[in-house]
Amino acid sequence: MTLPQDDRLAIITGGGTGLGLATGLELRRRHWRVLALGLDTEPGLEGSGIEFERMDITDAEALGAVARRTPRLHLLANAAGIILHDEREHTVEGFRRVVDVNLHGTQLACTLLRPALAAAGGSILNFASMWSRFGSGRNPGYSASKGAVEALTRALAVAYAAQGVRVNAIAPGWIDTRMSVNAFSDPERAGPILKRLPAGHWGQPGDIGKAAAFLASDDAGYITGVTLPVDGGYSIA
């Protein structure tokens, strides 16, 4: 039976900022209930109807408490992620920190919330990246973690299928968020990026939100194990 959208619950890690917030706002426009988990917020969260709970998404105890009080879950969106600049990802500590949040945090949420997703016939949406497939000399930890997220998505799509849980990923390209500000504000980087982009302009967070909402919807009911690029054609140019 197809539920009215206002009976559907989404939990979004990293849902207080950036692309996680954009996804939550789009789902709220479609009358989903949304709980955002994370350490940071942006002004757009205020008055949106999104519930926010402050937590480190690598904290198994805290995330487990959320799972125990959530018997049914229709969408888990793993948008929490970090990137470190100034060569910090070339250090042992920096690399491990990025992988811990981006990969281990994603796996932890999937594992702990799997029973609730199975109970509702829900789906998982992981956030990969264009750097899942391209190399970033500046950010090896980010690239490695996001490549692993894409592989994890395929593995869990197979593992969770028997329980009726779909698992997909979205791979954002150059989207106008705080995470991309360094590239956008540097003319030497921004110029070549825009020249390569077939779309001819930066993506907006709402572009990701709409794609995420589609993958979470019944219209995507026969789609699992895919990574959907939302990048204005950057990856094929």
Residues known to be catalytic: 142
Q: How many CB atoms lie within 10 A of CB 3?
A: 12
**DSSP state string for 152-182:** HHHHHHHHHGGGT-EEEEEEE-SBSSGGGHH
| Nearest-angstrom CA–CA distance, 227 and 237 | 18
Among the listed residues 72, 26, 68, 77, the one whose alpha carbon sits nearest the alpha carbon of residue 50: 26
Q: What angle is formed at CA 218 by the lines to CA 38 and CA 76, rounded to 5 degrees?
A: 15
Q: Contact, 138 vs 85, CB < 8 A?
A: yes
In three-state secondary structure terms, 12 is strand
